[in-house]
């Protein structure tokens, strides 16, 4: 079903990683480490990595600022997708989305279900586009980050992936803005 067209060049994209946590630091952020390792091994450029507390405004402002950064094509967040009072990442970021990516959540949950069964419903993983930047909101476990990267993002962020991928549509993500906001 999925295939890599070796006649096409690999095009690295700029990615920022945000860990949402009240307790993690760079020296114990296993989920962030998992994403960084996979991003760099795939040949992409890690532009920034930050940890912010589970606070809506801090999450929103960090991601919004990254969507305005010319070198950042993709933002991946990890953490804050559960149901407890401090889990606010979807609430912080979904208002930023110009377009929701419902299929990302659906495919993530299908992959996750194969690994952890019905426990996958305890995550509110989501995705969307804002300011011509893809945003993926992942749970805070290393396993969830592996599932999302290995099962979805690695292929979709590879220009050689056929029959289609996110990289080939990146130049057109802001065409509605160039048409005066119509569309």
pLDDT reported for residue 119:
95
pLDDT in tens, 23-51: 999 999 999 999 999 999 999 999 999 99
Is the pLDDT confidence value at 174 over 90? no
pLDDT band, residue 183 (cuts 50/70/90): very low
Helix (H, G, I), strand (E, B) or coil at 15: strand
Neighbours of 74 (CB within 10 A): 23
Residues above pLDDT 90, as percent of the chain: 93
* Alpha helix stretches (DSSP H) within the chain: 30-42, 56-67, 89-93, 102-116, 142-148, 154-156, 166-169, 175-178
Here the tokens at position 150 are 């290995």
Is the pLDDT confidence value at 181 over 60? no
What's the per-residue H, E or C state across 141-174? Answer: CHHHHHHHHHHHHHHHCCCCEECCCHHHHHHHCC
Q: Residue with structure tokens 């989305």?
A: 97
Does pTM surpass 0.75? yes
Is the pLDDT confidence value at 1 over 70? no
Strands 161-162, 133-138: pairing is: unpaired
């Amino acid at each position: 079903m999925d295939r890599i067209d070796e006649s096409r060049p690999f095009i690295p994209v700029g990615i920022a990683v945000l860990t949402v946590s009240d307790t993690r630091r760079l020296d114990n952020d296993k989920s962030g480490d998992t994403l960084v390792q996979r991003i760099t091994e795939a040949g992409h450029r890690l532009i920034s990595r930050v940890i912010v507390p589970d606070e809506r405004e801090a999450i929103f402002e960090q991601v919004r600022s990254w969507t305005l950064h010319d070198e950042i094509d993709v933002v991946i967040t990890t953490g804050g997708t559960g149901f407890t009072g401090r889990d606010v990442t979807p609430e912080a970021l979904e208002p930023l989305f110009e377009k929701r990516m419902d299929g990302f959540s659906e495919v993530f949950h299908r992959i996750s279900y194969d690994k952890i069964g019905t426990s996958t419903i305890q995550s509110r993983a989501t995705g969307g586009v804002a300011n011509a930047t893809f945003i993926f909101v992942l749970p805070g476990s290393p396993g969830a980050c592996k599932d999302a990267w290995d099962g979805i993002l690695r292929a979709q962020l590879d220009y050689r992936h056929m029959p289609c991928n996110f990289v080939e549509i990146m130049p057109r993500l802001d065409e509605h803005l160039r048409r005066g906001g119509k569309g």
